[in-house]
A = this chain, B = another copy of it.
Amino acid sequence: MTGNRGFFAGRTIADLGRDLSAGLLSAADLVDHALDSITSLDRAFNAFVTVGADAARLAARQADAERAAGVHRGPLHGIPVAVKDIIDTAGMATRMGSAHFDGHIPGQDAACVRRLRDAGAIIVGKTTTHEFAYGPTGDRSRNGPSRNPHDPARMTGGSSGGSAAAVAAGMVPLAVGTDTGGSVRIPAALCGVVGFKPAHGAVPVDGVFPLASSLDHVGVLAGTAEDCGLAFGVLAGEARVPSPGDTVSPRVGWLATDSMALGDPAVGDLVRAAFPDSEEVALTGVAELYQTYAAIQGSEAYAVHADRVARSPQLFDPEVLERLHLAGAIPGWRYVRAVEARESFRRRAAALLDRYDLLALPTVAVVAPPVGARVLDIGGAQVPVRDALLSFTSPWNLAGLPALSVPVGTAGGLPVGAQLICRTGREETLFAYADRLRAALAGPRG
């Protein structure tokens, strides 16, 4: 981590909640800390596109007044939160990272934002997104690339890059993102925070600009898995499948993929070593799964943007436009076959989760590449950056299963994340295991 870190670095939502309850801190204090941290740090990282200082201060005073009056809205009451800029916030600019939405101010909150506010959380600002969330690199946005707090010359990953940088730099304790192929987990891994993509449909996407509806998920980024769990509880509301509680010694299956060659061996080895007691299981066909993902994502994304591409192509980032043109040319029959292949993978994944409580694999096959990089040299092979970023995360968007990235160390000074998958309803085991893993790895090293 370069330079200073913000107030929230190393402070969990659970800790902050205790301090708020004890009167050691107020929501107004927390909002001031967030705004001060953003002011001092964000020039380097470009995590925020919009900061709503006045509205946040007002909401903080209301939260404090409620608490003083004995009203307690739960674990997010008084907690500052950053929200990705493709998620509608009433009265606060929401630009989708695109010139198409310059000056756009939604009249209504997205459903997930409404749930956060109802739980007493305070929206402090909107975070940089790859344009229309259409890219895992996080470096093509109307407001410029977000930058990795571990090295601002490196990409955050994306598309929820600003949300990851905001949490990693300690500017906020919690940020909301979206994840269509890995857009929460990838930047979480590259920036060294925890990122959680819930099961498909567990959190409503109303008011979230679509990338590819059948793959879109709202997710969260925080310093710990426990904090992700607190936020997930609020975001999922009553739709949350009751969890039977933590399984203290879960059976972990290590997914040995047939495309591990894609990645940096130092990353693969580091993540593998974090699961010494896991049983190895083969996950074959990763390259085909990625093609399946690309056919579905591309066709659905172009369906969203076709009219915009026809009407005002010049308003798109050129790379995003080029990718949209390719997406628009995917034949329908390939989409149909991809949907069939997705069904078949769902059955495979469900069968694996009959045998294991958790599945483990790297989140991303490489550490954060330089901002703007599009090809990586890995052992002499030229690997497209997007493929290297998405290969291990996108299968779990196809499967629609809960998936979490947790930091497990660094390679060459840059964060590396392990990815854990569970069955819907087993999130408690996932969260608790991830935090025990982090503590165990941090123990001897840090």
Contact = CB atoms under 8 A, between A and B. Distances in A.
A56 B331 CA distance: 45
Contacts of A302: 331-333, 336
How many copies are assembled? 2
A340 interface: yes
A327 B336 CA distance: 12
A378 to B, nearest CB: 30
Contact of A327 (B298, B327, B333, B340): B333
A333 to B, nearest CB: 4
A295 interface: yes
A299 interface: yes
Nearest to A306: B333
Nearest to A212: B336
A330 interface: yes
A331 to B, nearest CB: 6
Contacts of A333: 299-300, 302-303, 306, 327-328, 330
A337 interface: yes
Interface in A412-431: none
A331 B331 CA distance: 4
Contacts of A308: none
Interface in A239-288: none
Interface in A283-319: 295, 298-300, 302-303, 306
Interface string A192-235: 00000000000000000000000000000000000000000000
Interface string A23-35: 0000000000000
Contacts of A335: 299, 332, 335-336
Contact of A330 (B327, B331, B340): B331
Contacts of A299: 331-333, 335-336
A348 interface: no
User: For A303, A306, A330, A333, which residue has the most chain B Cβ atoms within 10 angstroms?
Assistant: A333
A334 B298 CA distance: 12
A69 interface: no
Nearest to A337: B303
Contacts of A331: 299, 302, 328-332
With most chain B CB atoms within 10 A of its CB, the pick from A306, A330, A336 is: A336
Interface string A327-364: 11111111111001000000000000000000000000
A435 to B, nearest CB: 39
Nearest to A338: B332
Contacts of A298: 332
A260 B417 CA distance: 61
Nearest to A296: B332
14 contacts: A299-B333, A302-B332, A303-B333, A303-B334, A303-B337, A306-B333, A306-B337, A327-B333, A329-B331, A330-B332, A330-B333, A332-B334, A332-B335, A335-B335
The 10 lowest CB-CB distance pairs between A and B, nearest first, are A299-B332, A332-B335, A302-B333, A303-B336, A303-B333, A330-B332, A332-B332, A303-B337, A299-B333, A299-B336
Given A331-B332, A335-B335, 9 more contacts: A299-B331, A299-B336, A300-B336, A302-B336, A306-B333, A327-B333, A330-B331, A330-B332, A331-B331
